[in-house]
Amino acid sequence: MTAPPASRVAVLGVGLIGGSVALAARLRAGAHVTGWDPDGAALAEALEARVVDAAAREPAEAVAGADLVVVAAPVAALPAMVATALAAAGPETAVTDVGSTKSAIVAASVDERFVGGHPLAGAEATGVRHARADLFEDATWYLTPTSATSGLLLERVHRFTAALGAVPTHVDPAEHDRLMAAVSHLPHVVANVLVAQVAEALGGERLPPTGPSFRDATRVAGANPALWAQIYAGNRDALVERLDDALGRLRDVRDQLAAGESLEAWQAAAGEHRRALLEVGLTGGPRTELRVAVPNRPGVVADLALTLARAGINISDMSLSPSPDGTSGVVALWVAQDAAARAHGLVADLGFAVT
Amino acid sequence: MTAPPASRVAVLGVGLIGGSVALAARLRAGAHVTGWDPDGAALAEALEARVVDAAAREPAEAVAGADLVVVAAPVAALPAMVATALAAAGPETAVTDVGSTKSAIVAASVDERFVGGHPLAGAEATGVRHARADLFEDATWYLTPTSATSGLLLERVHRFTAALGAVPTHVDPAEHDRLMAAVSHLPHVVANVLVAQVAEALGGERLPPTGPSFRDATRVAGANPALWAQIYAGNRDALVERLDDALGRLRDVRDQLAAGESLEAWQAAAGEHRRALLEVGLTGGPRTELRVAVPNRPGVVADLALTLARAGINISDMSLSPSPDGTSGVVALWVAQDAAARAHGLVADLGFAVT
């Protein structure tokens, strides 16, 4: 048993996500949590419900003395709030966020103490009263370190998210945004289009009973307009690219259908794609530890994590041991046993000694 | 308690749907069921599992003596199979089908004994071994009578589907196909596009863990290629129209996003559409009986049913009592209490006496 990843945590923004981070940090990671929220009533409710141990009047007051700060603000408010947190935080404090898009906030927050984050968790309900300590259980939690990121603080954020029950997963910020555009933002846009065309085609005159495929395909239509408008805008370039791609594919199939061509092979190919996508993330299995000697400078651990991520190798656990003089250290990385040889080779190619 | 709607039923095609019709007809509607299937092994399995009471060697043998024939063949095979059933059936036998598109089969089967049908039920699994007597429980079962349809036989099919646990719902064949294009066929096409763009964007290199919205939006991607290629082709015109509509909407939102406009109002409108659509079909509530005196000729009951359907009024139950001389009759229609006055007016406008 190692020490808890963070003993004092600040959470800025105690809605559904921030409140759940606070609860899980208290109940699962044994941390003391100070919360702050621009909405005084929400903050009072969080304190009353013991979602947080203490409530601060200002962000700087919450951040003072924290090992780790989690900024859980709407996407558009993140850059200013992360800057406030970094300004108030000490040199050894990690700052992370939970925003759904990452390129903009990472570009705006170049600091060795900052690690972008994005838990794939949420619910239809919003607000601190729906906060749950198990919201992140087995959820992917993307971390987007860069060449500026401190290895020690990256390790802390990684272990913190794992302590909340999540599966921390390293990814480049731009790749994260492209991925989210494809697997989340485009499906939300498409769901809106599907409900709009049905509603308008029926002219409000008669709304029919529908099968399950329509419910499934449109479950997220119209979700939280203020939040989603920010997410779309925050990932504009990647989402426009995905929309153009989808438009091209829909035009192709429309033309094939109109020309009387059979869509059977196209339908079968989609089935293959779906099976391939659904087989993902169901691996588990035994793990192997790689120990890597690294110099103690920002970006080194991030580089290791991202190199493995790009090769499809996830780091299920991470532990960093600095040398006594603080100039170097050893990073222990746990990866799937069947990926260990490949990981060993990739790390060695970066010029590091692996044991 | 009225008499069962049909005492001898023939089912042509004993796969998942046909097998479930047969099972439900035996176990819930008390009918004797004779099955036939072009696949002798499937038919033997249906008999062995007592999905059917008897197995026929030819369609005509199954149809002989039946009150009601259900044709459960793939969409492309329906016209020939329904024609075979009608040729073999007696003058008092109702013939219906379970195809997912209706305009083509209805146009190909102009006969007072034919009623197009489409239960909104199915499962990922196919084949008679997955047949279930409760597959149609509370499912919408569209019926598409025309001006050629016998009222007596329409009533029989209506009561038969209700006896299977379904909610029979009358609709014009062309409107059915436009509706299915919007709520089912387009969502299937879109699901295929979503998985294809993710799979190809990732180049098979790294398939990421994804949130629930992607799974929900793509649950039906690549479903049963042979079946769905026929459904797309069988509803070509309506589906091309829906695709053109969706393409226009996606282009609009793409252009607004690229121009830096906020999508908040658009997202909110989609939420309103979704709420309106989801409030559908959850009405229930008390029913009122309307008794309508009608002449006994084909198309009259169909006209009543479709007139109410176009006004958004569903007929939850229907009973037809011919006069002793067979020239006229009384149709009892049960409709929602709060729609009764409107239904009364619509029926009176058609020139019929209502009590």
pLDDT at A316: 75
Report CB contact under 8 Å: B209, A167.
yes
Residues A123-180 pLDDT 10s: 666 789 989 999 998 888 999 999 999 998 999 999 999 999 998 988 899 989 998 8
A313: nearest CA in chain B? B206
Backbone angles phi, psi at A160, to 5 degrees: -65, -45
CB spacing of B213 vs A184 below 8 angstroms: yes
Look at residue A3 in the predicted model and tell me its pLDDT.
Answer: 67
Q: What is the pLDDT of residue A204?
A: 55
Q: Considering only alpha carbons, which residue of chain A is nearest residue B182?
A: A198
Say if the Cβ atoms of A198 and B182 lie within 8 Å: yes
The residue of B224, B236, B264, B279 whose CB has the most chain A CBs within 10 angstroms, and thus the best one to mutate to test that interface, is B264
Which of B247, B266, B314 best probes binding to A when mutated, by most A CB atoms within 10 angstroms?
Answer: B266
Cβ within 8 Å of residue A235, ≥6 positions away: A100, A101, A103, A177, A180, A181, A185
How confident is the model at residue A324, as a pLDDT?
66
Are the beta carbons of A136 and A17 closer than 8 angstroms?
no
List of chain A residues whose C-beta atoms are within 8 Å of the C-beta of residue B239: 257
Question: What are the E-state strand segments in A64-111?
Answer: 68-71, 94-97
A294 touches A300 (CB < 8 A): yes
Smallest CA-to-CA distance from A163 within A334, A2, A332 is with A2
Mutation site for A-interface testing, chosen from B100, B142, B254, B255 by largest number of A Cβ within 10 Å: B254
Digit-coded pLDDT (tens) for B119-130: 988 765 678 998
In 3-state terms, what secondary structure has residue B109?
coil
Residue A284 pLDDT = 44
Q: What residues does A287 pair with on adjacent strands?
A: A336
Residue A261 and residue A283: Cα distance in Å, rounded? 39
- Helices (H), ranges, chain B: 16-27, 40-48, 59-63, 78-88, 103-108, 151-163, 173-180, 186-201, 212-217, 225-234, 236-258, 264-278, 300-310, 340-349
Of the candidates B183, B192, B272, the beta carbon closest to that of A267 is on: B192
- Determine whether the interchain pair B221/A266 forms a contact, defined as Cβ–Cβ distance below 8 Å: no
In the Cβ-directed half-sphere of A91, how many Cα atoms lie within 13 Å? 0
Residues of chain B neighbouring A310 (CB-CB closer than 8 A): 206
Question: How confident is the model at residue B204, as a pLDDT?
Answer: 55
Instruction: Check A189 against B253: CB less than 8 A apart.
Output: yes
pLDDT of residue B191: 93
For residue A278, the chain B residues in CB contact (below 8 A) are: 215
Residue-level pLDDT at B189: 95
Helix axes A236-258, A173-180, angle to 10 degrees: 40
**Res A254: pLDDT:** 97
The amino acid that residue B205 corresponds to is: E
Chain A and chain B share a number of CB contacts under 8 A equal to 308
Residue B69: in which H helix or E strand, if any? strand B68-71
Identify the pLDDT of residue A124: 60
Q: What is the pLDDT of residue B354?
A: 86
Residue/partner pairs of A104-108 with CB below 8 Å, 24 or more apart: A104/A75, A104/A79, A104/A234, A105/A75, A105/A78, A105/A79, A106/A144, A106/A146, A106/A173, A107/A173, A108/A78, A108/A79, A108/A82, A108/A83
Q: With a cut of 50, say whether residue B1 has pLDDT above it.
A: no
A253 contacts B240? CB cut-off 8 A: no
* Closest Cβ opposite residue B186 in set A194, A206, A278: A194
Mean pLDDT, chain B, whole residue set:
88
Q: Is pLDDT above 70 for B159?
A: yes
Longest dimension (CA), chain A: 76
Asked which of A195-209, A258-272, B76-90, B303-317 is least confident by mean pLDDT, the reply is A195-209
- pLDDT, one tens digit per residue, over B330-351 is 888 888 888 888 998 998 888 8
Nearest to A98 by CA among A138, A69, A130, A129: A69
Chain A positions touching B199 (Cβ under 8 A) are 273, 276-277
Question: What's the pLDDT at B209?
Answer: 59
What pLDDT is attached to residue B187?
A: 92
* Residue B108 contacts residue B95 (beta carbons within 8 Å): no
Whole-angstrom distance, CA of residue A231 vs CA of residue B213: 15
pLDDT at A27: 95
Over its length of 355 residues, how does chain A's per-residue pLDDT go in tens digits? 456 788 999 999 999 999 999 999 999 999 999 999 999 999 999 999 999 999 999 999 999 999 999 999 998 899 999 999 999 999 999 999 999 999 999 999 999 999 999 998 876 667 899 899 999 988 889 999 999 999 989 999 999 999 999 989 888 999 899 988 998 899 999 999 999 988 877 765 445 555 566 777 888 899 889 889 999 999 999 999 999 999 999 999 999 999 999 999 999 999 888 877 765 443 345 678 888 888 878 888 888 888 888 887 878 777 777 776 777 778 888 888 888 889 989 988 888 888 7
- What is the Cα–Cα distance from B117 to B71, expressed in whole angstroms? 10
Judge contact between B183 and A206, C-beta under 8 A: no
Q: How is A236-280 classified by DSSP, letter by letter?
A: HHHHHHHHHHHHHHHHHHHHHHHTT---HHHHHHHHHHHHHHHTT
Q: Is the model's pLDDT at B315 over the cut of 90?
A: no
How would you label A228-237 residue by residue, b for 16+ Cβ within 10 Å and e otherwise?
bbbbbbbbbe
